[in-house]
Amino acid sequence: MSNPNEAAKSAKAEAESQFERVKERGAEMAGNVREAGREYAEKARQRGQDYADRARDQADHLYEAGSRRADEAAFYAELGYEEVSDVVRRNPVQSLGIAAGVGFLLGLIVARR
């Protein structure tokens, strides 16, 4: 039979060896988790950047479309103003009568409220 001290030393050496393997495996797993976390964070950051870029492009597109519509509305408003001015110049008495009638109707509407 073998010596109890040698058996204890052998068991201790085996336990230390297993502890080192577990410790190394734990460190490896922690490194893998850290790397996976970094990759996930990078993907999330990139996805967020992509969404922000898309939103910025859409906002620019909508701003340009709105600007074109505003310019178009201003153009037509100016044309309408010029046309009304011409009609008033050609028919001042009739225009004054229409303005008085519209004012009277608006006064009635406001007074009823």
**Phi, then psi, of 2 in degrees rounded to 5:** -85, 165
- Give the tens place of pLDDT for each residue, 74-98: 999 999 999 989 988 999 999 999 9
Question: What local confidence, expressed as pLDDT, does residue 2 receive?
Answer: 62
* pTM, rounded to two decimals: 0.49
- Give the tens place of pLDDT for each residue, 10-65: 888 888 888 889 888 988 998 999 999 999 999 999 999 999 999 999 999 999 99
Query: What is the span of the domain harbouring residue 26?
Result: 4-112
**Dist CA 4 CA 30 (whole Å):** 38
Instruction: Domain count for the chain, please give it.
Output: 1
Among residues 111, 108, 84, which one has the least CA distance to residue 98?
84
